[in-house]
């Protein structure tokens, strides 16, 4: 980590690695190393006043802090900033400014702005409550996973026509109970949560599917709904994995066709339909996707 001057602004250079390797299980039940995306909380303090906690990859944290303050209307010019110092040991960004921070009071509510598309928001109290969640699922058959993935393939109607949307579904055994598309995956999951309440749908042994990334936001929402299984066609973030381990949510990512990776809860999967072995010398499927 080093300090530099940009437009007379004292700024750190506090990049973090974009990915880290973890041990997962694939559709054959085999152990393999696979990279997951970093996701870290970064709490912004302006003139020692706490403003917000952002969930971030952490690769350009100073630019993120400055851009957030600009886009939220807290600052109007770089000339208002004196320094931006990011410390990953404490996951904080200390900002010094010439602005009157006390005048920001109406804009300030302590919240966490997540890494989800559409800038989803998770209020700080949720983080404390989620630590008490301990979800204990029954077993999930591999054949059930494949059946659901095949059914869901035909459900992404808007995405196939125009793109720019995420789809989420709640499934039970081998059928889709509810499927919703929206421009943000957190909107889709919230709509499904509402439908579950309105239609008296229980969460016991249900499977939640999303086309989006398995960020901490997504795992938290599913844990709040007491749903034991979360499947995505996309990848996972470091914080998403940490939340899953904390709450007991079984996580499967990169799920498409006959392929998937188990990030958490390997012991909850029954391997009853293992695919044929990969042809000798064939490229790794995960490198092609």
DSSP string, the chain: -EEEEETTEEEEE----SEEEEEEEETTS-EEEEEEE--EEEEEEETTEEEEEEEE--SSHHHHHHHHHHHTTS-S-GGGEEEEEEETTTTEEEEEESS-GGGGGGG----EE-SSTT--EE-HHHHHHHTT-------EEHHHHHHHHHHHHTT-HHHHHH---EEEEEEETTEEEEEEEESSHHHHHHHHHHHHHHTT---TT-EEEESS-B-HHHHHHHHHTT--EEEESS-BBHHHHHHHHHHT-EEEEEEETTEEEEEE-GGGEE--SPPPPPPTTPPPHHHH-
- Name the fold adopted by 2-110: Ubiquitin-like (UB roll) (3.10.20)
Closest alpha carbon to 221 in 199, 188, 197: 188
Q: Which residues contact 64 (CB under 8 A, 6 or more apart)?
A: 42, 54, 56
Between CA 11 and CA 282 the distance in angstroms is 47
Q: Do 39 and 217 meet the contact criterion of CB atoms below 8 Å apart? A: no
Q: At what angle do helices 238-247 and 216-224 cross, to 10 degrees?
A: 20
What confidence score (pLDDT) does residue 177 get? 95
What confidence score (pLDDT) does residue 191 get? 83
Between CA 260 and CA 112 the distance in angstroms is 30
Domain boundaries defined on the chain: 2-110, 140-288
What confidence score (pLDDT) does residue 118 get? 43
Residue 196 Cα distances to 190, 199, 204, angstroms: 10, 5, 12
- 140-288 CATH: 3.40.140.10
Q: At what angle do helices 185-198 and 216-224 cross, to 10 degrees?
A: 0
Q: Do 205 and 225 meet the contact criterion of CB atoms below 8 Å apart? A: no
Closest alpha carbon to 21 in 8, 33, 13: 33
List the pLDDT tens digit at each of the 289 positions of the chain.
Answer: 556 666 667 787 777 777 889 999 999 999 999 888 888 888 989 989 888 888 787 777 888 888 888 767 788 788 888 999 999 999 999 999 988 777 776 666 555 555 555 445 454 456 667 777 889 888 999 999 999 999 988 776 655 555 556 788 999 987 999 988 776 677 788 888 888 888 889 998 899 999 888 988 889 889 988 999 999 999 999 989 999 999 999 999 999 999 999 999 999 999 999 998 877 765 565 554 4
Closest alpha carbon to 235 in 69, 56, 72, 24: 24
Closest alpha carbon to 215 in 238, 240, 235, 234: 240
What confidence score (pLDDT) does residue 230 get? 97
What confidence score (pLDDT) does residue 72 get? 73
Residue position matching structure tokens 């499947």 = 231
């Amino acid at each position: 980590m080093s300090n530099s001057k940009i437009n007379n602004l004292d700024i750190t250079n506090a990049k973090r690695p974009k990915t880290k390797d973890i041990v997962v299980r694939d559709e054959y039940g085999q152990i393999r190393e696979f990279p997951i995306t970093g996701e870290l909380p970064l709490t912004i303090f302006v003139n020692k006043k706490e403003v917000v906690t952002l969930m971030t990859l952490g690769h350009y944290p100073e630019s993120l802090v400055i851009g957030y303050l600009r886009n939220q209307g807290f600052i109007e010019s770089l000339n208002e900033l004196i320094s931006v110092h990011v410390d990953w040991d404490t996951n904080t960004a200390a900002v010094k400014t010439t602005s009157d921070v006390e005048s920001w009071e109406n804009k300030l509510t302590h919240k966490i702005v997540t890494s989800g598309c559409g800038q989803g928001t998770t209020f700080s109290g949720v983080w404390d409550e989620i630590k008490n969640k301990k979800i204990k699922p029954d077993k999930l058959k591999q054949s059930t996973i494949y059946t659901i993935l095949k059914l869901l393939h035909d459900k992404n109607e808007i995405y196939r026509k125009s793109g720019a949307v995420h789809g989420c579904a709640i499934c039970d055994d081998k059928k889709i109970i509810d499927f919703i598309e929206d421009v943000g995956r957190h909107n889709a999951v919230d709509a499904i949560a509402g439908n579950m309440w309105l239609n008296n749908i229980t969460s016991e042994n249900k499977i939640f599917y999303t086309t989006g990334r398995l960020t901490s936001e997504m795992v938290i929402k599913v844990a709040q709904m007491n749903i034991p299984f979360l499947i995505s066609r996309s990848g996972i973030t470091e914080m998403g994995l940490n939340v899953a381990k904390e709450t007991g949510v079984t996580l499967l990512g990169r799920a498409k066709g006959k392929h998937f990776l188990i990030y958490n809860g390997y012991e909850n999967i029954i391997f009853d339909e293992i695919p044929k072995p990969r042809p000798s010398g064939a490229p790794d499927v995960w490198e092609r996707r």
